Amino acid sequence: MLGRTDSRLRLVLLLVVVVGFGGVLGLRLAYWQIGQAGDLRRLADAQLHEPLDAEIRRGDITDRRGNLLATTAYRDLLAAHPDLIRAEHRADQARRLAGVLELDAEQEAHLIERYEAGVPYFIVARRLGEQQSRLVRELIASGELAALTLEPRPARFYPNTGGAPDTTLASQLLGFVTDDGQGQYGIEQRHQQLLAGRAGPIASVDDDVAGTVTGGSLQLTIDASLQLRVEKELYAAWVANRAERASAVVMDPYTGAILAWASVPGYDANAYGAVASKSPERFVDPLASQVYEPGSVMKMLTAAAALERGVVTLDSTVRDGARLRFGQTVISNFDQRSMGRMTFADVIAQSRNVGTGRVAMRLGETTDESAAVLYEMWLRLGLGQRTGVETASEAAGLVADPAARPWHDVDLVNRAFGQGVAVTPLQLAAAFGAMVNGGWLPHPHVVAAENDAPTPVAAAVPVFAPALSDELRDLMVHVVASVPHYAETTLIPNYVVGGKTGTAQIWDAARGAWKEHSYNHTFAGFVGGEQPAAVIIVRIHDAEPTVKRRFGYILALTSNEVFRRVAQDVIEVLDLPPLQQPAPVSTPPLDLGSVAGDEP
């Protein structure tokens, strides 16, 4: 009898091996079924459903009252399938389509080339206008066009017409959005992430609205009604003065909220492609992204430094002169005349360069000390620094630091009346806000809320005593009330108005010389009833005075006249209450021979 080949020990070992192997398999299976279940489901879903690019519905932008400034509309993408057309008819179809789309000769030739190549699919236009879509549909239905598809796609839409022809409202503030969903310039670029929402491939199987993503919303501080009125006022000034541009900003001096932000010429943000090919310079916002020499409005900052320092009072006597000579350089008043002894308040009101320069030289014991005092006041009022306003590409300005490179006497005098320093209108708005609101530098801002939640605003910063603010506000009122021509063209019955003009030469870099007859014209001021309600900065860019007056030439529509028009719009739109007991405005008979020292 053969011996037994199995044994109890061998069976036990075999059982252990089988149980161990089964345990390993169980653990591995548990790992895949439990630990990796989510990833496996996503992989399976990716195999069963073709992923779609997310259709982005960009968030809305509204004004302070909830009126739409920018929204998402649907526009047709036009695609062609030339391979479905008989070869001998392709060129004719391309020419017919080119006519509908109003293509130029080069674009038409390119379209014919694509058709004749017989490609199966290509995009003819990513965004058709409503009229173009309607016409294409009609021609497809009639059989005149074939092998075309219209695919509705979300597109950024700006529903409000601007104050100038062929523009949309607040175009340079808002910016625009390209066909690939990227915000460009202004609010659209600065808040791209919020407005566009999440991006990337999205599987349609889990979406309530297949592949659709809605971005966040923004509410701005501007008032659409006031914005439109301001744009119309600027358009009138731009045309009348044949200026390069005209721009203005209206700001609440206490909160820093921007109520209007306008520049003419603007552009049609719904047709940004056409603008890019013809006038791309219109995309650049002159209120925050460009700097310029503002001229005599800067005398108010020199006055702030002098009054705070105790160098003068408003009633102090200052000796004006026809000119100041520094070596080979001569500083003069615009009229080449001297007005003799006058109060400091009248030096500013009559915008005397020589008188202001002499006061600036007394800010310290030496030129270096005087320069440091004036420069410190500039910094305190926000010059040379970005305000932090919520738009793209804000400029900081150009302000020379005397500690880094000492100023000469002529530098100090020039800068005291606004030459040799470059600022933005937005910086001026903040500085003048501090002068009239009790001495607090406001934080300019244009965003009121994100996704219906109020946006925190940086607190205003105290920059000088309330008493100094009172003096500066009174000085601005004196400027417009004491000069007869200014009183006639600037004051508004039953409201308090104050401000300062500035007319600055423009450097022509191409010629290496000052432009002979063209200037930058600015008015910086405020309007209110019992207290200042709005700071208004008006700038007329590169314009030549052409209207003859007794005292010389002025603009056809001056900066202070544009200011008054805008101020009246502010009163009406914001329903500002008048003075309860209006005081008569005194305009003493002055034989000054000129309107003010900043008029060329």
- Return per-residue pLDDT of the chain as tens, 600 residues: 444 444 555 554 555 555 555 554 555 555 545 555 555 444 444 333 333 455 678 999 999 999 999 999 888 999 999 999 999 999 999 999 999 999 999 999 999 999 999 999 999 998 888 899 999 999 999 999 999 999 988 889 999 999 999 999 999 999 999 988 899 999 999 999 999 985 433 333 334 444 567 899 999 999 999 999 999 999 999 999 999 999 999 999 999 999 999 999 999 999 998 899 899 999 999 999 999 999 999 999 999 999 999 999 999 999 999 989 998 888 999 888 999 999 999 999 999 999 999 999 999 999 999 999 999 999 999 999 999 999 999 999 999 999 999 999 999 999 999 999 999 999 999 999 999 999 999 999 999 999 999 999 999 999 999 999 999 999 999 999 998 888 999 999 999 999 999 998 888 888 888 888 889 999 999 999 999 999 999 999 999 888 877 667 789 899 999 999 999 999 999 999 999 865 544 444 333 333 344 554
Q: What is the pLDDT of residue 598?
A: 56
Rounded Cα distance, 182 and 193, in Å: 9
What are 185-237's pLDDT values in tens digits?
Answer: 999 999 999 999 854 333 333 344 445 678 999 999 999 999 999 999 999 99
Q: What is the pLDDT of residue 1?
A: 42
Cα angle, residue 114 at apex, residues 110 and 119 outer, rounded to 5°: 165
First to last CA, the chain: 135
Alpha-carbon distances of 570 from 232, 259, 471, 536, rounded to whole Å: 13, 9, 24, 10
Q: What is the pLDDT of residue 45?
A: 41
Could you tell me if 554 and 334 are in contact, meaning their C-beta atoms sit under 8 angstroms apart?
Answer: no
Helix (H, G, I), strand (E, B), or coil: what is residue 149? strand
- Domains, the chain, in order of start with CATH, read 69-200+210-216 (3.90.1310.10), 225-265+291-574 (3.40.710.10)
Backbone dihedral angles phi then psi of residue 472, each to the nearest 5 degrees: -65, -40
Could you tell me if 524 and 562 are in contact, meaning their C-beta atoms sit under 8 angstroms apart?
Answer: no
Could you tell me if 460 and 436 are in contact, meaning their C-beta atoms sit under 8 angstroms apart?
Answer: no
Q: In a 10 Å sphere around its CB, with 0-12 CB exposed, 13-18 middle and 19+ buried, how is residue 585 labelled?
A: middle
β-pairing, 183-184 with 341-343? unpaired
Q: How remote is the C-alpha of 243 from its chain's centroid?
A: 20
User: In 119-142, which positions are buried (b, 16+ CB within 10 angstroms) versus exposed (e)?
Assistant: eeeeebbbbbeeebbeebeebeee
Sequence-ordered alpha helix ranges (H) in 197-313 = 224-241, 272-278, 299-309
Q: What is the pLDDT of residue 196?
A: 92
Rounded Cα distance, 199 and 212, in Å: 10
Kindly give the interhelix angle for 299-309 and 425-436, rounded to the nearest 10 degrees. 40
Q: In a 10 Å sphere around its CB, with 0-12 CB exposed, 13-18 middle and 19+ buried, how is residue 16 labelled?
A: exposed
Could you tell me if 18 and 11 are in contact, meaning their C-beta atoms sit under 8 angstroms apart?
Answer: no
Alpha-carbon distances of 78 from 6, 146, 535, rounded to whole Å: 81, 12, 48
What are 483-497's pLDDT values in tens digits?
Answer: 888 899 999 999 999
Could you tell me if 523 and 542 are in contact, meaning their C-beta atoms sit under 8 angstroms apart?
Answer: no
Q: What is the pLDDT of residue 9?
A: 57
Q: In a 10 Å sphere around its CB, with 0-12 CB exposed, 13-18 middle and 19+ buried, how is residue 169 labelled?
A: buried
Contacts of 468 (CB under 8 A, 6+ apart): 304, 307, 308, 439
